[in-house]
Amino acid sequence: MDWNASVDLYCERTASGWLGEPANLFSNLAFFLAAVVLLRRYGRSPPEVPPIFRWLAALLFLIGVGSSLFHATARLWGEVADVLFIALFIYLFVASFLRYAAGLPWGLALLGMPAYFAFERLVKLPFDASAFNGSVDYFPAAAGLLLMTLYLAALGRAQWRGFAAATAAFAVSLGLRSVDRAECARLPLGTHWAWHVLNAYVLYRATTALLDCAQARSATSAARTASGATTS
Protein backbone atom coordinates (compact mmCIF):
# COMPACT_ATOMS: atom_id res chain seq x y z
CA MET A 1 0.00 0.00 0.00
CA ASP A 2 1.31 3.42 -0.97
CA TRP A 3 0.58 5.61 2.06
CA ASN A 4 1.71 8.66 0.11
CA ALA A 5 -0.75 8.06 -2.73
CA SER A 6 -2.72 11.10 -3.86
CA VAL A 7 -6.40 11.20 -2.87
CA ASP A 8 -8.54 13.74 -4.73
CA LEU A 9 -12.14 13.58 -3.47
CA TYR A 10 -13.45 17.15 -3.43
CA CYS A 11 -14.08 19.66 -6.17
CA GLU A 12 -12.19 22.49 -4.45
CA ARG A 13 -8.84 20.80 -5.15
CA THR A 14 -7.59 21.89 -8.54
CA ALA A 15 -3.85 21.72 -7.78
CA SER A 16 -1.50 19.69 -5.60
CA GLY A 17 0.15 21.15 -2.53
CA TRP A 18 -0.74 22.24 0.98
CA LEU A 19 -3.12 25.00 -0.08
CA GLY A 20 -4.94 23.05 -2.77
CA GLU A 21 -8.10 23.08 -0.62
CA PRO A 22 -7.97 26.30 1.44
CA ALA A 23 -11.68 26.41 2.37
CA ASN A 24 -11.71 22.72 3.28
CA LEU A 25 -8.50 23.19 5.27
CA PHE A 26 -9.32 26.32 7.26
CA SER A 27 -12.93 25.34 7.97
CA ASN A 28 -11.44 22.74 10.31
CA LEU A 29 -10.92 25.58 12.76
CA ALA A 30 -14.55 24.93 13.70
CA PHE A 31 -13.54 21.61 15.29
CA PHE A 32 -10.79 23.24 17.34
CA LEU A 33 -13.18 25.96 18.50
CA ALA A 34 -15.84 23.40 19.45
CA ALA A 35 -13.31 21.41 21.50
CA VAL A 36 -12.14 24.53 23.36
CA VAL A 37 -15.71 25.65 24.08
CA LEU A 38 -16.51 22.16 25.40
CA LEU A 39 -13.55 22.23 27.77
CA ARG A 40 -14.51 25.72 29.00
CA ARG A 41 -18.03 24.48 29.69
CA TYR A 42 -16.65 21.54 31.65
CA GLY A 43 -14.73 23.94 33.87
CA ARG A 44 -17.89 25.78 34.95
CA SER A 45 -20.39 22.91 34.91
CA PRO A 46 -21.20 21.43 38.31
CA PRO A 47 -21.46 18.64 39.32
CA GLU A 48 -18.09 17.20 38.35
CA VAL A 49 -17.85 16.21 34.70
CA PRO A 50 -17.05 12.49 34.17
CA PRO A 51 -13.50 12.08 32.76
CA ILE A 52 -14.77 10.38 29.59
CA PHE A 53 -16.17 13.72 28.41
CA ARG A 54 -12.67 15.16 28.35
CA TRP A 55 -11.67 12.28 26.09
CA LEU A 56 -14.54 13.19 23.78
CA ALA A 57 -13.35 16.81 23.71
CA ALA A 58 -9.80 15.64 22.98
CA LEU A 59 -11.05 13.48 20.11
CA LEU A 60 -13.06 16.41 18.76
CA PHE A 61 -9.81 18.39 18.67
CA LEU A 62 -8.01 15.46 16.98
CA ILE A 63 -10.77 15.24 14.36
CA GLY A 64 -9.77 18.78 13.41
CA VAL A 65 -6.11 17.71 13.28
CA GLY A 66 -6.80 14.64 11.13
CA SER A 67 -9.08 16.49 8.76
CA SER A 68 -6.60 19.34 8.43
CA LEU A 69 -3.80 16.93 7.55
CA PHE A 70 -5.96 15.23 4.95
CA HIS A 71 -7.16 18.39 3.23
CA ALA A 72 -3.71 19.94 3.37
CA THR A 73 -1.88 16.96 1.87
CA ALA A 74 -4.57 15.00 -0.04
CA ARG A 75 -2.56 11.85 0.75
CA LEU A 76 -3.75 8.42 1.82
CA TRP A 77 -2.08 8.63 5.24
CA GLY A 78 -3.93 11.89 5.89
CA GLU A 79 -7.24 10.33 4.91
CA VAL A 80 -6.59 7.44 7.32
CA ALA A 81 -5.84 9.88 10.16
CA ASP A 82 -9.04 11.77 9.32
CA VAL A 83 -11.23 8.66 9.38
CA LEU A 84 -9.51 7.13 12.42
CA PHE A 85 -10.26 10.01 14.81
CA ILE A 86 -13.86 10.25 13.59
CA ALA A 87 -14.35 6.51 14.18
CA LEU A 88 -12.83 6.69 17.66
CA PHE A 89 -15.15 9.55 18.59
CA ILE A 90 -18.24 7.71 17.32
CA TYR A 91 -17.45 4.45 19.11
CA LEU A 92 -16.61 6.20 22.38
CA PHE A 93 -19.77 8.30 22.10
CA VAL A 94 -21.93 5.18 21.63
CA ALA A 95 -20.48 3.57 24.76
CA SER A 96 -20.84 6.84 26.70
CA PHE A 97 -24.49 7.16 25.64
CA LEU A 98 -25.24 3.67 26.89
CA ARG A 99 -23.53 4.52 30.19
CA TYR A 100 -24.82 8.02 30.89
CA ALA A 101 -28.14 8.16 29.03
CA ALA A 102 -29.29 4.54 29.21
CA GLY A 103 -27.71 3.96 32.63
CA LEU A 104 -25.93 0.71 31.80
CA PRO A 105 -22.82 -0.28 33.76
CA TRP A 106 -19.56 0.24 31.87
CA GLY A 107 -19.16 -3.50 31.28
CA LEU A 108 -22.36 -3.58 29.23
CA ALA A 109 -21.93 -0.10 27.76
CA LEU A 110 -18.62 -1.10 26.18
CA LEU A 111 -20.41 -3.92 24.37
CA GLY A 112 -22.11 -1.15 22.44
CA MET A 113 -18.90 -0.74 20.45
CA PRO A 114 -18.97 -4.15 18.70
CA ALA A 115 -22.76 -3.82 18.46
CA TYR A 116 -22.33 -0.53 16.62
CA PHE A 117 -19.78 -2.15 14.31
CA ALA A 118 -22.46 -4.66 13.27
CA PHE A 119 -25.05 -1.86 13.05
CA GLU A 120 -22.76 0.05 10.66
CA ARG A 121 -22.55 -2.89 8.29
CA LEU A 122 -26.30 -3.42 8.39
CA VAL A 123 -27.14 0.21 7.60
CA LYS A 124 -24.65 0.42 4.72
CA LEU A 125 -25.61 -2.94 3.23
CA PRO A 126 -28.21 -1.62 0.71
CA PHE A 127 -25.85 1.05 -0.70
CA ASP A 128 -22.86 1.09 -2.98
CA ALA A 129 -19.79 2.38 -1.12
CA SER A 130 -19.36 5.27 -3.56
CA ALA A 131 -22.99 6.37 -3.44
CA PHE A 132 -23.75 9.94 -2.34
CA ASN A 133 -20.10 10.91 -2.86
CA GLY A 134 -19.02 8.39 -0.22
CA SER A 135 -21.36 9.81 2.42
CA VAL A 136 -22.81 6.32 2.89
CA ASP A 137 -20.05 5.77 5.45
CA TYR A 138 -21.80 8.29 7.71
CA PHE A 139 -25.34 6.96 7.35
CA PRO A 140 -24.94 4.69 10.42
CA ALA A 141 -23.91 7.67 12.57
CA ALA A 142 -26.96 9.61 11.39
CA ALA A 143 -29.22 6.63 12.07
CA GLY A 144 -27.63 6.17 15.48
CA LEU A 145 -28.21 9.80 16.43
CA LEU A 146 -31.82 9.51 15.36
CA LEU A 147 -32.32 6.36 17.47
CA MET A 148 -30.75 8.08 20.48
CA THR A 149 -33.12 11.03 20.00
CA LEU A 150 -36.17 8.76 19.76
CA TYR A 151 -35.07 6.78 22.82
CA LEU A 152 -34.78 9.89 24.98
CA ALA A 153 -38.02 11.35 23.61
CA ALA A 154 -39.87 8.10 24.37
CA LEU A 155 -38.66 8.33 27.98
CA GLY A 156 -39.71 11.97 28.21
CA ARG A 157 -36.13 13.08 28.87
CA ALA A 158 -35.60 16.78 28.12
CA GLN A 159 -32.20 16.08 26.57
CA TRP A 160 -33.88 14.65 23.45
CA ARG A 161 -34.08 18.20 22.11
CA GLY A 162 -30.31 18.55 22.06
CA PHE A 163 -29.99 15.24 20.23
CA ALA A 164 -32.74 16.30 17.82
CA ALA A 165 -30.84 19.51 17.01
CA ALA A 166 -27.66 17.52 16.39
CA THR A 167 -29.54 15.01 14.22
CA ALA A 168 -31.15 17.72 12.09
CA ALA A 169 -27.85 19.54 11.59
CA PHE A 170 -26.16 16.27 10.67
CA ALA A 171 -28.82 15.55 8.04
CA VAL A 172 -28.11 18.93 6.44
CA SER A 173 -24.33 18.42 6.58
CA LEU A 174 -24.67 14.97 5.01
CA GLY A 175 -26.65 16.50 2.17
CA LEU A 176 -23.98 19.13 1.61
CA ARG A 177 -21.19 16.56 1.63
CA SER A 178 -23.10 14.39 -0.82
CA VAL A 179 -23.46 17.08 -3.49
CA ASP A 180 -19.91 18.45 -3.27
CA ARG A 181 -18.58 17.03 -6.56
CA ALA A 182 -21.92 17.31 -8.34
CA GLU A 183 -22.01 21.08 -7.82
CA CYS A 184 -18.41 21.89 -8.85
CA ALA A 185 -19.49 23.80 -11.96
CA ARG A 186 -21.74 26.14 -9.98
CA LEU A 187 -19.78 26.19 -6.72
CA PRO A 188 -16.01 26.08 -7.34
CA LEU A 189 -15.32 25.92 -3.58
CA GLY A 190 -17.65 22.97 -3.27
CA THR A 191 -19.70 22.32 -0.14
CA HIS A 192 -17.34 20.19 1.93
CA TRP A 193 -16.18 23.15 4.00
CA ALA A 194 -19.78 23.57 5.22
CA TRP A 195 -19.77 19.89 6.22
CA HIS A 196 -16.87 20.69 8.56
CA VAL A 197 -18.56 23.69 10.15
CA LEU A 198 -21.89 21.93 10.65
CA ASN A 199 -20.26 18.76 11.96
CA ALA A 200 -18.33 20.73 14.56
CA TYR A 201 -21.71 21.94 15.79
CA VAL A 202 -23.18 18.42 15.59
CA LEU A 203 -20.44 16.90 17.73
CA TYR A 204 -20.51 19.79 20.20
CA ARG A 205 -24.31 19.72 20.52
CA ALA A 206 -24.53 15.95 20.89
CA THR A 207 -21.76 15.91 23.51
CA THR A 208 -23.32 18.70 25.58
CA ALA A 209 -26.71 16.97 25.40
CA LEU A 210 -25.09 13.74 26.61
CA LEU A 211 -23.39 15.64 29.43
CA ASP A 212 -26.81 16.98 30.40
CA CYS A 213 -28.01 13.35 30.55
CA ALA A 214 -25.10 12.41 32.79
CA GLN A 215 -25.60 15.33 35.15
CA ALA A 216 -29.37 14.79 35.34
CA ARG A 217 -28.79 11.13 36.22
CA SER A 218 -26.18 12.13 38.81
CA ALA A 219 -28.53 14.70 40.37
CA THR A 220 -31.36 12.15 40.53
CA SER A 221 -29.07 9.61 42.17
CA ALA A 222 -27.87 12.18 44.71
CA ALA A 223 -31.45 13.18 45.52
CA ARG A 224 -32.43 9.55 46.12
CA THR A 225 -29.41 9.04 48.36
CA ALA A 226 -30.26 12.17 50.35
CA SER A 227 -33.89 11.11 50.61
CA GLY A 228 -32.89 7.66 51.84
CA ALA A 229 -30.55 9.16 54.43
CA THR A 230 -33.31 11.52 55.64
CA THR A 231 -35.92 8.81 56.00
CA SER A 232 -33.54 6.51 57.79
Instruction: Kindly tell me if the per-residue pLDDT of 7 is higher than 70.
Output: yes
The string of pLDDT tens digits covering residues 172-189 is 999 999 998 888 888 888
Instruction: Kindly tell me if the per-residue pLDDT of 223 is higher than 80.
Output: no
- Looking at the domain assignment, is residue 137 inside a domain? yes
When pLDDT is cut at 50, 70 and 90, the band that residue 86 belongs to is: very high
What is the predicted pLDDT for the residue at 98?
Answer: 98
What is the predicted pLDDT for the residue at 185?
Answer: 80
The span from the CA of 32 to the CA of 68, in Å, is 11
- Looking at the domain assignment, is residue 223 inside a domain? no
- Looking at the domain assignment, is residue 143 inside a domain? yes
What is the predicted pLDDT for the residue at 12?
Answer: 84
Structural domain that includes position 149: 22-217
- Looking at the domain assignment, is residue 168 inside a domain? yes
- Looking at the domain assignment, is residue 3 inside a domain? no
Instruction: Kindly tell me if the per-residue pLDDT of 125 is higher than 70.
Output: yes
What is the predicted pLDDT for the residue at 225?
Answer: 54
Count of structural domains within the chain: 1
Angle at which helix 52-73 crosses helix 192-231, to 10 degrees, equals 180
> CA 31 → CA 11, 68, 164, 183, 228, distances in Å?
22, 10, 20, 25, 44
What is the predicted pLDDT for the residue at 229?
Answer: 52
Q: What is the mean pLDDT of residues 86-110?
A: 97
- Looking at the domain assignment, is residue 146 inside a domain? yes
What is the predicted pLDDT for the residue at 224?
Answer: 57
- Looking at the domain assignment, is residue 1 inside a domain? no
- Looking at the domain assignment, is residue 14 inside a domain? no
Phi, psi for 64 (deg, rounded to 5): -60, -40
The string of pLDDT tens digits covering residues 16-75 is 777 889 999 999 999 999 999 999 999 887 668 999 999 999 999 999 999 999 999 989
What is the predicted pLDDT for the residue at 9?
Answer: 80
Instruction: Kindly tell me if the per-residue pLDDT of 217 is higher than 90.
Output: no
Phi, psi for 131 (deg, rounded to 5): -65, 150
